[in-house]
Amino acid sequence: QVQLQESGPGLVKPSETLSLTCTVSGGSTSYAYWSWIRQPPGKGLEWIGYIYHSGSTAYNPSLESRVGISIDTSKTHFSLRLSSVTAADTAVYYCARQMYSYDSGAYSNWFDPWGQGTLVTVSS
Amino acid sequence: QSVLTQPPSVSAAPGQKVTISCSASSSNIGNNYVSWYQQLSGTAPKLLIYDNNKRPSGIPDRFSGSKSGTSATLGITGLQTGDEAVYYCGTWDTSRLNAVFGGGTKLTVL
């Protein structure tokens, strides 16, 4: 079964770029959507964006100007970049497989599985 | 402020039933499918329900989902202390063009 694992620096300085990688094991990134979701300490979930295996992307409009998601051609991992970070970007960052489709006039959208999450703190 | 509205907390005794509501607008829940997630303390969210009422393999039938209009409901029967967690609803928002979640409901099993 597919498992995901986030990795990257746990501390980023303000105004710098946050970079995380999600490694997919037990399967490849082919034929699926792969997403990043974050959760500030003590708060709820915020979708950041997804990348399809073909490389097409969609981002949360509130973050679109600062975010980029890429996928490795080896199809074993995908990455997140978030630029010009501030303390408000401090959060646990999760990667997840996003099941997304449109059928009979309705969107189906859900996330499974999730990585264990990695805390990124923005501080000087 | 979350796009989807959930009660901050609910509680019930072991063995009892509880429902958690999730409401919003026609641009999200009204026209699209709803999913539910369980987040135990210190862990990642886990999918409980997708497409309004479908359970992934391994999720017991004590968990159920339903949707009517612009509201969705998660039901949990035969409550166990291990069900204490924060529960989130989610869906796709057609007007915002992004996935949205509720603010989460903390379930306490007394």
pLDDT in tens, chain A (124 residues): 899 999 999 999 999 999 999 999 988 777 789 999 999 999 999 999 999 988 999 999 999 999 999 998 777 899 999 999 999 999 999 999 999 999 888 999 999 999 999 999 999 9
Asked whether residue B16 carries a pLDDT value surpassing 80, the answer given is: yes
Query: Which positions in chain A touch B47 (Cβ < 8 Å)?
Result: 110-113
Q: Mark yes or no for CB contact A58/B97 under 8 Å.
A: yes
| C-alpha–C-alpha distance, residues A105 and B70, integer Å | 15
Asked whether residue B85 carries a pLDDT value surpassing 80, the answer given is: yes
Q: Is A57 on the interface with B (CB under 8 A)?
A: no
The three-state DSSP-derived secondary structure of chain B is: CCCEECCCEEEECCCCCEEEEEECCCCCCCCCCCEEEEECCCCCCEEEEECCCECCCCCCCCEEEEEECCEEEEEECCCCHHHCEEEEEEEEECCCCEEEEECCEEEEEC
Q: Is A59 on the interface with B (CB under 8 A)?
A: yes
Q: Mark yes or no for CB contact A107/B98 under 8 Å.
A: no
pLDDT digits (tens, 9 = 90+) for B37-78: 999 999 999 999 999 999 999 999 999 999 998 999 999 999
